[in-house]
Amino acid sequence: MTIRGLWDRWLRAAFERAHTMLGALGIFLVAGLLVGIAGTAAFVELASEVREGETQSFDEAVIRWMGAHRSPLLDRAMIELTALGTGVTVLMIVVIAGLFLTLTQHKYSAILLLVATTGGLVLNGVLKLGFERPRPTIFIPAVHTVSSSFPSGHAMSSAIVYGTVAYLAARLHRRRWARWLVMMFALFLIVLISFSRMYLGVHYPSDVVAGVLIGFAWAGFCMATLEAIQRFALRRAPKILEDEKAAPGGAGS
């Protein structure tokens, strides 16, 4: 057999093994681990750049550009959008979603949402205290702020809460296109909220990017944990699944 033939055979075997492993572990478990690891690594790299001042000139240039392109209509729109990432709003979403999950026999999903949200709040507070980055002072911000700038709490909490809720909704839907639609809508909302923080002059671009990165990383680890519990329950403790119904199957799933 030629070298090319051996290479093609090895590639096919590797693909089949990877496909089998993905099926055994589950796409959500694999995706959660990848997002968690990649997000954490990217956050650490960005945080290092911010601490060394490497991003400051770019950050200030972006805020100046946004300040020069503000308008009364955009101001009102961005204030409404940024409200979707405030603590009160995201906590209301968590309470409503958690109550729905509990009433529909998804206890572990409800616990995941609670742990992801609570852990995210604690993590954001610790990171802010660790960096103590001053807020932008390029222009007078349109909203009041009380904490330091890095990482953005709005961006981080939005990534965690909206991302986790979208993931839980996707798990429970039988149509693949609906799963993608839910997740893409959540991503679009997270981007809009993050953009509003820069437009309103309360965060630098590096703040919101860092918030989204570490938010997705934390949500990814939590997502992978729930999926691991599900996989463990299928073989070792099936009684666990009595409180956590699996995602329904069907055409298009």
Task: Give the number of other CB atoms < 10 A from CB of residue 162.
Answer: 24
Ordered alpha helix ranges (H), 104-175: 107-131, 153-171
Check 69, 106, 173, 203 and give the catalytic one.
Answer: 203
Q: Letter for the amino acid at 38?
A: A
d(CA 216, CA 114): 15
Check 19, 144, 154, 173 and give the catalytic one.
Answer: 154
Q: Which two tokens stand for residue 167?
A: 């993931």
Task: Give the number of other CB atoms < 10 A from CB of residue 97.
Answer: 20
| Inter-CA distances, 220 with 18, 27, 128, 152, 192, Å | 20, 12, 21, 18, 21
Q: Reduce the DSSP state of residue 95 to 3 states and report it.
A: helix
d(CA 25, CA 39): 20
Task: Give the number of other CB atoms < 10 A from CB of residue 243.
Answer: 15
| Inter-CA distances, 56 with 20, 60, 148, 164, 202, Å | 46, 6, 15, 31, 14
d(CA 63, CA 137): 9
Active-site residue flag, 154: yes
Could you tell me the end-to-end alpha-carbon distance of the chain, in angstroms, rounded to an integer?
40
Active-site residue flag, 144: no
Annotated catalytic sites, by residue?
154, 203
